[in-house]
Amino acid sequence: MSEGTRTPDRLDHNQELYQLSYAHRAGRQSTDGLGVLPVASGPEMADPPKQIVPGVQRLGSSLVNFYLVEEDGRYTVVDAGMPGYFGQVPAAVGELSTVAAVVLTHAHADHIGIAERLRSEAQTRVHVHEADAQLARTGNMPATEGSFLPLLRYPTTWRLVAHFATNGGARVPRITDVTTFTDGAVLDVPGSPQVIATPGHTHGHVALHFERHGVLFAGDALCTRNPFTGRDGPQIMPPAVTASTEQALASLERIADVEASHLLVGHGEPWTGGVRAAVERARETADR
């Protein structure tokens, strides 16, 4: 990884991941002695859409989720995956013109991949919390707490890196025009989600409660399968991709009492055991 992309007070760890992806794509050896990266195939490729509950579909791959919520034949896209997933949306909705909005839980690269393309091709607005708007527009990551180095011993990390590389993760288009919201807003988009600010993973991270559908989208406030270590179960994301672990843990209380049959996350399977139970599991895991 090039020192030229760093400044001493601003370690851009997500940038490291993209550079690893890019190096992998280009078939180069990484420059820090890690050697040639293993190539992933098969299981991480895009899966067909899966219905979670009526009106809610899960898209993406086994490593990165994004979702569709339908109401009266119009769709809200919740998070926007990786650029390589674009074709999944017209395949699932038929006419792209039925996509009425994109709503982001946060603006990390693996959650905004097709947002700009949907904005321009489906003429949708892209909604994001005001504190993540700059990240969405520029891709300039605020500092995170930790390094990727401890994660490199996990094969799942390398599968994620390869998955980034093959799905355009090294060159995610920035979103040229975003519509911002704040905590507590009820968005005028299909499904009328309520915004619950859950800062920590990023400063503008939110959960989205679609009450009529009975689902809570938690983004990366917590995951049910760690996309780096491969560990299953509710847990917060690692410090390498988190602005503040302490704040992320505190924010879990903001969603703990939400009534939802399904808790849906950026990484991992849907959780149906109740939001409070998932939050408690995530806290216990963080203590160990």
Query: Shortest gap between Cβ of 98 and Zn ion (angstroms)?
Result: 26
Helix (H, G, I), strand (E, B) or coil at 43: coil
Query: Shortest gap between Cβ of 170 and Zn ion (angstroms)?
Result: 16
Nearer to Zn ion, 79 or 116 (CB): 79
Nearer to Zn ion, 74 or 137 (CB): 137
Do 102 and 92 touch, CB atoms closer than 8 A? Answer: no
Query: Shortest gap between Cβ of 238 and Zn ion (angstroms)?
Result: 10
Task: Give whole-number Cα distances, 211 to 54, 73, 127, 164, 175, in Å.
Answer: 13, 18, 18, 32, 28
Start-to-end C-alpha separation, the chain:
31
Nearer to Zn ion, 71 or 269 (CB): 269
Nearer to Zn ion, 108 or 129 (CB): 108
Nearer to Zn ion, 16 or 110 (CB): 110
Q: Which H or E element spans position 209?
A: strand 206-210
Neighbours of 185 (CB within 10 A): 16
User: CA 67 to CA 155: how far, in whole Å?
Assistant: 26
Q: By CB under 5 A, name the binding residues for Zn ion.
A: 108, 110, 220, 266
Residue number of the CB closest to Zn ion reads 108
Query: Shortest gap between Cβ of 202 and Zn ion (angstroms)?
Result: 6
Query: Shortest gap between Cβ of 94 and Zn ion (angstroms)?
Result: 27
